[in-house]
Structure 1
Amino acid sequence: MKYFSLACLSLSSIASLVTILTSVADMNIITLAVLSIFANTGYTFSKFFLWNESLCIGMGMLVHFLWLSVICWMSLSTFQIFQTFTTISTVQKKDSTRVLVFLLIDAVLCLAIVALNVIVSSVQSDWLSLGYSPSTCYIADPKMTLFTFTLPVGLFICINSFMFLVTLSRICVKADIRKSKDKSRLSAYFRLSTLVGVAWLFGFLAQFTELQLFSMLHTLFNGGHGVFIYMAFGLPLNLKSLSRRLEQKEKNTDSYTTK
């Protein structure tokens, strides 16, 4: 399982990096890919801190925060597209400014959830535990995993589904935007959120059933975030770029033949 997990996370990080290199025009996609790389790297290297209790607990907090950040950012990105097709007012800002504002919102929300786990776990243990295990470098109590990770992820996915359905209904009414770039991005974010939900559903089942199959499926889906991001965003851009180059090559060939 260790080697399987490492292979999945490594492949995910490579795919995220390729997405960054092929999606320079979209800051939301780049940010999502960067957060995915950080989450994969943090989770992979957290196991190297088992020798020190304090460092392991600190890495557990960081991994918890980073995975929440990835899920939350997908919801915030979907919300930006949702604003485009609804009556919710938007303030026109530069891409860099908008990304910084949403990153701040993302950080505050995720830090609040991590803090909730620390506070509740500390109170329940008479301040003997911060809620993160020194033997796994992650959330110690399965119940707290449910309340501070599984449920927030489920909530984000439900919100995404609502925004997707509302936006899709608006798009269907207006024929001129049915093939818009924002519609494609919204659909891609929705598919990513669904895959994330499936991944953590398997993780939840693995915790309570202790079946190796669910654990492997959780590792496969969860470690494949970067691959899913690339397939949703990076691959279409690569295919479009390849199609343009082929069309241009055909035009040049036809022009040369005519001459």
Structure 2
Amino acid sequence: MALLAAQMSFLLGADQTSNQTLCKITAMTIHYLYMCVFCWMLVEGINLFIKVVLVFNTEKSKLMYYALLGWGMPIVIVAVCAGVAWGQYATKSSCWIGSGNPLIWSFAGPAAVIILLNLILLCIVARILYRSIRSVDKAGSDKIKAFWTATKGTLTLTPLLGITWIFGFMAVGGATLVFQYIFIVLNSLQGVLFFLFFCFLNKEVREKVKRLFEKMKLSSAQFSSSSVAPEKPLMMTEKNRAEMRRRMSTTVDTTLQGNDLNEERLKQHKEISMKVEVSAPVSLPEPLG
């Protein structure tokens, strides 16, 4: 988020020099946002070091400390710079700190320190990974595959930790045109690299996105089935009405005939029962003794 805001602020506001006061505020905003970018890169490096090296010290949440470092430290840097050298924050040609201005070190100095710290942390993490791979008893092909996976993971961390900004320091002067092109390409694609390595190529992220799409598809199917309009009743023609009346009359006649037949059978059954009762002899009980 800080990187997106910094890039958009620089692209939209760096050349708005008509109002010098607004131009200075724009330069301060860009300075703050880029300092946030670098501070969050340092947060990523520290978090990576804690996860890999200090494995048993990851129970407590450090989000509050990370937020203070990522968003709070740049406020201190920019506030000090604005208080000391407010008039040097912008030039007549751009709303940014000029390269010949000593104030540029308020940006380049912290950035260089953060890049150096992240480079050291990345080397420590890579050393631990390679040592752990070497200590595991694996076949030659499996060990080579593990080394390649660790190398690929280390390389993908370089844009996240700001290591590519090293080319920005190398791209000072006219004789370093190659480094300028490398710096421009790598850092203009920094957001794309973040998305590619940590979203698109991340198996966890892909699985979560897949489950989200499946849930959305299921919800859409349920909504479609519940919102289907009821079928319209068929129009009754005169022929259909006549056929229905005929069937109803047939059903009624059959029911009445069945009732008459049942009454006739019940009457015959009663007459047979009365004849049997009259003709049956009466047996008296035998005397006792």
TM-score range, shorter chain: 0.5 to 0.7
- Cα distance in 1 for partners of 2:92, 2:24 equals 6
Give me the CA root mean square deviation.
3.8
Q: 1:68 pairs with 21, 35, 48, which one?
A: 35
- Cα distance in 1 for partners of 2:25, 2:183 equals 23
- Report matched runs for 1:11-50 at 5 Å: 34-47=1-14, 49-50=16-17
Do residues 109 (structure 1) and 73 (structure 2) align? yes
- Cα distance in 2 for partners of 1:164, 1:61 equals 31
Query: Comparing both chains, which one has the higher relative contact order based on Cα–Cα distances under 8 Å and sequence gaps of 6 or more?
Result: 1
Q: For the Cα contact (< 8 Å) 1:57–1:134, is it kept in 2? A: no
Give CA deviations for 1:67-99 in whole Å, capped at 9, x if unaligned: 1211221121111110123349746345xxx44
Q: Report the counterpart of residue 196 of structure 1 in structure 2.
A: 165
- Cα distance in 1 for partners of 2:14, 2:21 equals 13
Higher helix share: 1
Q: CA deviation at 1:230?
A: 2.1
**Which structure 1 segments of 5+ residues have no match?**
1-33, 123-128, 246-259
Give CA deviations for 1:9-36 in whole Å, capped at 9, x if unaligned: xxxxxxxxxxxxxxxxxxxxxxxxx121
One-letter amino acid of the structure 1 residue matched with residue 121 of structure 2: M
In 2 relative to 1, CA 144–55 (structure 1 residues): closer, same or farther, beyond 3 Å?
Answer: same
- Percent identical among aligned pairs is 16
- Cα distance in 2 for partners of 1:174, 1:217 equals 33
Q: Report the counterpart of residue 132 of structure 2 in structure 1.
A: 174
TM-score, normalization by structure 1: 0.60
Q: 2:122 pairs with 164, 176, 195, which one?
A: 164
- Cα distance in 2 for partners of 1:88, 1:70 equals 26
Q: For the Cα contact (< 8 Å) 1:132–1:139, is it kept in 2? A: yes
- Cα distance in 2 for partners of 1:85, 1:46 equals 40
Q: Report the counterpart of residue 199 of structure 2 in structure 1.
A: 234
- Cα distance in 2 for partners of 1:217, 1:186 equals 19
In 2 relative to 1, CA 232–151 (structure 1 residues): closer, same or farther, beyond 3 Å?
Answer: farther
**Which structure 2 segments of 5+ residues have no match?**
137-145, 211-289
- Cα distance in 2 for partners of 1:210, 1:134 equals 26
Q: For the Cα contact (< 8 Å) 1:82–1:163, is it kept in 2? A: yes
Tell me the SS of whatever aligns to 1:139: coil
In 2 relative to 1, CA 90–46 (structure 1 residues): closer, same or farther, beyond 3 Å?
Answer: farther
One-letter amino acid of the structure 2 residue matched with residue 189 of structure 1: L
Q: CA deviation at 1:45?
A: 1.7
TM-score, normalization by structure 2: 0.55
- Cα distance in 2 for partners of 1:147, 1:56 equals 20
